[in-house]
Amino acid sequence: MSTDNQDNSERIALWLVGLVVAFVLVSVTAFVIVKQRHHAPVAPVAAQAAADEEALYDAPLSGDVVGVVLFGFAEANVPSEAAPELAKALEALIAAPARKIVIAGFHDASGDALKNAELAKARAKATRAALAAAGVDSARVLLRKPESTLADGTAEQARRVEIRLID
């Protein structure tokens, strides 16, 4: 009879341990679910930062031109010949610490308009990256939506990025 009592005691102890483990698991799971529902996830913050980075300056193009970067046909990489133009933009920012620059990519009206606009945008982004690599604070650099040039300039002038100093 003492073996039966011992078996019953072991069963009760195992059941109690099982219930405690189940209770802990349910509690932890509920805690995690409640925390996730009441806190903003990290992904939307990163998405918002990317959206802010992609926000385009939409005011009329104005300000002093402090640099013009010319690109090759269908190219978006900043050419090495652009170094003096980038240096002029950097000097202008240093001389006017309260001002910002706007980078506007241009394209001509020939060919696919969407592809041209994307290429002009890629050129502006590459120019922004080159200025950031030179130490320019990204908060002082704005990108403007791509501009289409009229047929009055050369093809080379159509493949340009203008860097303008604004207030």
Indicate if 10 and 60 belong to the same structural domain. no
Contact 56, 143 (CB under 8 A): yes
Q: What is the pLDDT of residue 51?
A: 45
Q: Is residue 45 part of a domain?
A: no
Q: Is residue 44 part of a domain?
A: no
Q: Is residue 128 part of a domain?
A: yes
Better pLDDT: 33 or 18: 18
Q: What is the pLDDT of residue 152?
A: 64
Indicate if 86 and 11 belong to the same structural domain. no
Q: Is residue 47 part of a domain?
A: no
Over the stretch 112-146, which tens digit does the pLDDT of each residue have?
889 998 999 999 999 999 999 999 998 999 999 88
Q: How confident is the model at residue 68 (pLDDT cuts 50, 70, 90)?
A: very high
Q: How far apart are CA 65 and CA 54, in angstroms?
A: 22
Q: Is residue 133 part of a domain?
A: yes
Q: What is the pLDDT of residue 158?
A: 85
Task: Report the percentage of the chain scoring pLDDT > 70.
Answer: 75
Q: What is the pLDDT of residue 143?
A: 93
Indicate if 115 and 143 belong to the same structural domain. yes
The residue-averaged pLDDT of 142-159 equals 78
Indicate if 73 and 31 belong to the same structural domain. no
Tell me: pLDDT of 93 over 90. Answer: yes
Q: What is the pLDDT of residue 26?
A: 67
Q: How confident is the model at residue 19 (pLDDT cuts 50, 70, 90)?
A: confident
Give CA angle at 12 (8, 13), nearest 5°. 115
Indicate if 142 and 64 belong to the same structural domain. yes
- The residue range of the domain holding 9 is 2-39
Q: How many CB atoms lie within 10 A of CB 129?
A: 13
Indicate if 6 and 67 belong to the same structural domain. no
The residue-averaged pLDDT of 41-65 equals 61
Q: How far apart are CA 108 and CA 154, in angstroms?
A: 9
Tell me: pLDDT of 87 over 50. Answer: yes
What total of structural domains would you count in the chain? 2
**160-166 vs 100-107, strand pairing mode:** antiparallel
Better pLDDT: 156 or 41: 156
Q: How far apart are CA 152 and CA 158, in angstroms?
A: 10
Q: Judge if pTM exceeds 0.85.
A: no
Q: Which residue has the tokens 């908060």?
A: 139
Indicate if 59 and 33 belong to the same structural domain. no
Cβ neighbors of 136 (< 8 A, separation 6 or more) are 89, 90, 93, 101
